[in-house]
Amino acid sequence: MATTGTDLLASFWHRLSLKPLEVSYTFLIIAATILLLLWTSASSYFRTRGRDRFPPGSFGFPIIGDTVQFILANKSDVAYRIWIQKKIAKYGPLFKWRFQGMPVVVMDPPGGNKFLFQNDGTSFEIYWPVQMATLLGSEPISVLRGERHKLLRRHLNRFFNHAAVSRYMEEVDRKTVQHLARHWAGKEEPEFELVPFDVATLYTFSEICNLLLSLDEGPELESFLKDFMKWQNGLLSLPINLPGFSYYKALKARKRILQILEEYVKQRKRELAEGRASERAKVDILTNLLTVPDENGNLLSDSSVYDNLLVLLFAGFGTSSGALAMTIHFIGKNPDVYAQLVQEHKSIVDKRREEGREDVLTMEDLSAMKYTWRVIQESLRLQPPVGGFFREAIEDCEYNGYVVPKGWKVMYSTISSHYDPRFFKDPMTFDPSRWEQPPVPFTFISFGGGPRQCIGYEFAKMQMLAFIHHLVRRYRWSVTDPNEIVIRDPIPRTAKTIKVIKLTPSS
C-alpha cells in the first residue's frame, strides 16, 4: 500500500519525539531565537527609520570624521568658508558631520539658530571639545550648566551690565588715550607702519587687565599677554599633549597663568584684610569677586575665582582684539568709510565743545556713534571673532522634521549665517550701509544668543567705539596688501602692516 504524506509526516515526528523535559528546553530555545530575531528586525527598522529622519550629511572617516579638516580649515578665513560652504552646497544649510568622534548637527539660519538659542538650557546645554574644556577649567561661567550657570551669570552680570559699563567709561577713555600716546604717537616719523592685530591685542588686553586686576601696561603685563596668546592658540588645536604642539604649549601657559592669578588673589586678600586696597582696586572686578556675595549670600571659591578670571580675561581681549584689528583693516581698505568716520567724530567733538563739556568721552557720545557702530558690525559680520559654538542635546529633539538624538552635539555657525545671500546681499562686500536697517533676527550672531549671549557685549562695544573715536581723530591709514588672506588661530587677524600717517592738530 502506498505511503501517504500524512503517514510520512507522522513517522517523522515519531522519530523526533522527545521526552517532556527535552520538549521544554527545545521550546525555550526556539522561543528565545524567535524573540531575538523579532528584536533584531525591529531595532533595524527603527534605526533605519531614525536615520532617515536625521539631518542630511556624512560622518566621514570612522571616529575622526572631519576633525582634522575642520581644525586645519580654522587656520584661514578662506579655508573655513570653503569647508562649510562645500557642506552647505552638498547637503543644505542644515547638515550633520563628525568631530572628535561626536555626531554634530550644524543648525541652519535663522530658524535653526532661533531653535537652539530659545531652547538653550532646557533641551541643549553648553559643550566644549576636549581640548577647550581642559584649557578653560571646571568652574568658569562658560562651562557651568543648569542652575549653577544661571546663578553665576546673574552674579557676574552685575559687573558687566549697562550701569556697570557706564561707570567704566572714563577709565576706558583714559587708557585709550594713554595707549595711543605710547604706541602710536610715540613714533618719531610722521609716517610709519604697524601690525593692527599686535597693537589691538595689547590695547584690549591692557583694558581688561585694568578692569579685572587694576594692572597697568608695562613689562609684567606684556609677559602675561605672551602666556595668554599661547593659551588661546591651543583652544582649537589638535589635543596632542607632546612637546612642539600648540595644545602642549597651551597647557603649560595655563599653569603659569593660574599661578599668576593665584598671587594676585592672595595679594588682594591681604590688602583687603589690612585695609590697604587702593581706590581703583576697590572697583575692579577681582575685588568684587572676592567681596560681593551672590544672591544666596555665598562668595566664590578661590578655584572659581581663578577659572572665571581666566575666562573673563580671554573674553575681554581675545575676541575684542580680533574684532578691533579687523575693523582697522577694513577701514584701511575703504577710504570712503574712513572719510565718513572722520566726519561723524568731528561732529561729536564739536558738539561737546559747544556745550562746554570736557574732552572726555561719555555714554552720550557713544550713542551718537551710529555710523561707527555700523562699521564695526560689518567687520564682525565679515570676520566674526568666533566661527561658532557647540551645544549638546540633553534630550531627544525634533527640528524641521529631523531628529537630533540625546547626546548629539549641535553647532551654530557664524560663517554660514553671515555669508548667506538670502539675508546679506552681496555678502563678500564690505558695506556698513546695510546696517541702516536691522538684520533678520537670528542671522547676525557674532555675540551668540539666548541665555549664553556674550556677557561682555556692552564692554566690548564701548571699548571698540572709544578706540576708533580717538584713532580717526589722530591718524589716517591704508593697508599695504588689499588682497591679504585673513589668518585664524582661532581669532581672525592679518599679519601684514598698515601704513599710518599722523594728522596735524588742525585736522
Q: Quote the pLDDT of residue 484.
A: 92
Structure confidence at residue 358 as a pLDDT band (50, 70, 90):
confident
Residue 44 resides in a domain:
no
Structure confidence at residue 437 as a pLDDT band (50, 70, 90):
very high
User: Residue 190's domain spans which residues?
Assistant: 67-502
Return the beta strands (E) in 273-396 as ranges.
388-393
Q: Which residues of 294-319 are buried (b: 16+ CB within 10 A; e: fewer)?
A: eeeeeebeeebbbbbbbbbbbbbbbb
Best-predicted range by mean pLDDT (2-6, 20-24, 208-212, 335-339): 335-339
pLDDT at residue 386 above 80? Answer: yes
Residue 7 resides in a domain:
no
Residue 507 resides in a domain:
no
Residue 487: strand pairing partners: 76, 493
Q: For all residues of the chain together, what is the average pLDDT?
A: 87
pLDDT at residue 47 above 60? Answer: no
The CATH number given to whatever domain includes residue 259 is 1.10.630.10
Residue 37 resides in a domain:
no
pLDDT at residue 207 above 90? Answer: yes
Domain count for the chain, please give it: 1
Residue 502: strand pairing partners: 475
Quote the CA–CA distance of 310 and 127 in Å, as a whole number. Answer: 18
Angle subtended by helix axes 457-474 and 196-213, to nearest 10: 130
Residue 156 resides in a domain:
yes
- Segment 48-56 shows an average pLDDT of 69
- pLDDT (tens digit per residue) in 68-119: 898 888 888 888 899 999 999 999 999 999 998 899 999 999 999 999 999 9
- Segment 314-330 shows an average pLDDT of 91
Q: Quote the pLDDT of residue 361.
A: 93
**454 carries a ligand binding annotation:** yes
- Segment 456-461 shows an average pLDDT of 92
Q: Quote the pLDDT of residue 432.
A: 98
Residue 31 resides in a domain:
no
Residue 25 resides in a domain:
no
